[in-house]
Chain A
Amino acid sequence: MSTALPTRPVLHSEWIKIRSLRGTFGSLIAILFVTTGIQALTAAAIGQAEEGAMGEDPLLAAFYGITFGQIAAMAFGATALSSEFHDGGLRTSLVAVPNRARFYLSKISLVGGLAFVAGQIAGLATFLAGQSFMGPHSIGLGDPGALRAVFGCGMYLTLMALFAAGLTAVLRSATAVLSLLIPFVLMLSFVIGAGAEGMAEFLPDRAGQMMMRAEAGSVVGHWQGLGVLTLWAGAAVIGGWLAVRRRDV
């Protein structure tokens, strides 16, 4: 089993791969800047207009930028994997690292690790930057649930990146994954949300955002929500492994 564990050389190799692709590295950086930037701009524009202008839930409203930041996170996860499925890239990679378990685990760990770092920084920066424009309506890190929400924001971005990464290993195309996942995450819970309130809380985006809500959902709690999104992402990552494990390349 230890032969499947990531090693430093393989992680280093995966890091060079990510760093050397503009789109992938750009998406990683964008997780941070888009989430924080949109939050700051929106808060600056309408934050002080009236109580609740950013949304009914002041805590969730502090992470409004995540709606856009999550697209960067998904693009990061998807393109980090899809580069292996263009032009026989996987062949080249597997000749250097023929142990597929080690290859896949290293790649997923690095994607998850980088998204975690970018996500956590984004979570904290988004909260602080956004609130600095909120004037009288602002909340602080000491307020109830604020730290949980900051951590939850980072985890949300991390898990969305892994969700997209796993799916890309199954479908072998970032375009397919993003055109499937973005509507799924942005629109589905919005469309069915009103009707089926209870079940909708199990959708990946709804569940993952529980951490950032002041009030938990009717069925899914704050931390349970994180668990539900972890299951979604975990299922995608395992699906990706099953696809990579045996496939002829």
Chain B
Amino acid sequence: MNSIEIRELTKEYGRTRAVDHLTFEVLPGRVTGFLGPNGAGKSTTMRLLLGLDRATSGTATIGGQRFTDFPDPLHRVGALLDAQAAHGGRTARAHLSFLAAANRIPARRVEEVLERSGIASAAKRRIKTFSLGMRQRLGIAAALLGDPGVLLLDEPTNGLDPEGIIWVRELMRTLAAEGRTILVSSHLMSETAAFADHLVVLGQGKLLADTSMEEFIDARSTPRVRLRTSDPVRLRAALAREGLEMVGADDGRWTVEGIQAERLGPLAAREGIPMLELSDERASLEQAYLDLTADHAQFAATR
């Protein structure tokens, strides 16, 4: 009852199609990374899911129900949409208190989430004095208020210091392990790789990938080894017979694409070629992601 169902979701702003016939599902018990370049439609999808924007067509539901039909929404879904979305004139405690009051959440829960988010000492301060990192923590505190089964976090690590990033990562993993549904958007693959189990990738409002993190990596990285040998000439000839090419890298090392260490090692041994160093090198996830989304980036610098 906590899964998120997106069906044929489309949103047009004038002539721009921000979300284009999107269909995917987000399941409980794991952290789903919601990836895509800026302008790919991630935030729009989240706003549509929360009923803040109206879909042109299609549906976005949580456990089969529209968010706007929940009588006690904060108990079902916690959302961090925009860390700036808090009135600067209020104190952190007042901000959380009015949210809590609207959903019959007791005042002591406000103190709990302030504590859990590490901003309890700043509870009486006006939000306009907060750094971006503190606002982000306040936003996460607000999302946790109703102890919801579903969390939607839009770029939660934005503006956080390294300690904060680790905190968010741990928090998401803990919440997912408790069986909650966690959808976390980011435009950074490297960051997402650190916490996501599953990936949904968008480009120009379309679904580019909906796969587990492992599959995503395996499907998109070509095997490559990095090696050092005292006899590059014989090794080059041996590899050429296999249809592989040895390319010179920096400081006397070589790289070979299309083969893994567990195959190349025995091959070199059979030929009696001494290997000084041999290791697998995975094409970086970042690169795989960039390759996937390159054609779909709305704003790209021309080179």
Contacts and interface: CB of A to CB of B under 8 A. Distances in A.
Are the chains A and B members of one assembly?
A: yes
Interface of A: 9-10, 12-14, 16-17, 19-23, 83, 86-89, 91-92, 94-99, 246, 248-249
Q: Describe A's contact surface by its main secondary structure.
A: helix
B104 interface: yes
A83 B104 CA distance: 22
A87 B102 contact: no
A40 B84 CA distance: 44
A97 B89 contact: no
A89 B85 contact: yes
A24 B192 CA distance: 42
A95 B91 CA distance: 19
A20 B91 contact: yes
B54 A248 contact: yes
Contact of B85 (A13, A14, A16, A92): A92
Contacts of B91: 20
B68 A99 contact: yes
B74 A96 contact: yes
6 contacts: A12-B102, A13-B101, A83-B89, A87-B86, A87-B87, A92-B95
Interface of B: 47, 50-54, 67-68, 70, 73-74, 77, 79, 81-82, 84-91, 94-95, 97-99, 101-104, 142
Contacts of A20: 89-91, 94-95, 97-98
Contacts of A87: 84-88
Contacts of B99: 13, 92, 96
B101 A16 contact: yes
Given A10-B102, A98-B67, A248-B52, A88 B94 contact: no
Given A12-B101, A21-B89, A92-B142, A98 B68 contact: yes
A13 B74 CA distance: 13
Name which of A12, A16, A83, A95 has the most chain B CB atoms within 10 A of its CB: A95
A101 to B, nearest CB: 11
Nearest to A18: B98
Contact of A88 (B51, B84, B89, B95): B84
